[in-house]
Structure 1
């Protein structure tokens, strides 16, 4: 009798689309959408700061501080006019959400993902040119921590316009420079045979 009653209850809830599984799935869907909206705003701030070469961090990571840097400051500015982000920020301050998505590790990971996507777009653009020839410029400069940062600049013609795009290299020395260049171009499936000019430290070859 109890089994029949439970079965009847389950059938009724299912017909009303009110089972526990459906409720959990609906709740998970709302949670996914919530954090999608958070990440959409975070990504917009990352893109804005990155395009302008602005620093993300300030002297302290504290909400409401004028020294908390461009990233946190931009988030706070948007929150003044965006009720959704304002509410999320208040939850973060009061520690009422488990996943904040506004921390340094998160935006650094997003920068890496966005950077990889940009590189893929650059490579696709070069590989789909009518004329596949390109020019490389290799140079380096020390960053603020005095660590030498090396980049490859790929110059090519796209729709009648000259384009210059960066491809980063990590950990290099003069003895491994060529191998690094070869490795990076190989990783991006850019053929060495299509190079029609090279420049190293402003010396053309």
Structure 2
């Protein structure tokens, strides 16, 4: 049995580490060590949604989740069939309406998590304060560059960059205008607005 220690990892690392362990696992059984709370719930839900039975044991520090990687049932939920390109429209440098620090952490985790998904958007359009994510000083420039290298078109609003005096500080992707942004949104098979 292979054991993977996911304790003391910030979200989304426990789920991402679990996903990678499953992909690389040649062993019949896998044990994941996770913290109590969100990490335990998120990893368990991730495994169950993929058809795995999870046996859980409480430890002094966290939980041990044991799964048989050869005995996965068909996933309970299937992804909907998609047609056309997917465009992600970002209009803020944070996710949600709560505290600024939490919103920025959630946005960072969202962008990093995109790297682990099998289906990527075709474009990411950054408007308003979201252009701060593509410019110098942003914590997500590196993951956004990786997404761009994987074929995701990263587009930042030129008017917004000018407004925030950031055009010369653009670090990833290219500058776009409202016409091109509107055209991309109207032609998309699906638009996800953050």
TM-score normalised over the length of structure 2:
0.27
Which fold has the larger relative contact order, with Cα–Cα distance below 8 Å and residues 6 or more apart in sequence? 2
**Which structure shows the bigger proportion of residues in helix conformation?**
1
**Which structure shows the bigger proportion of residues in strand conformation?**
2
Q: Which has the larger radius of gyration?
A: 1
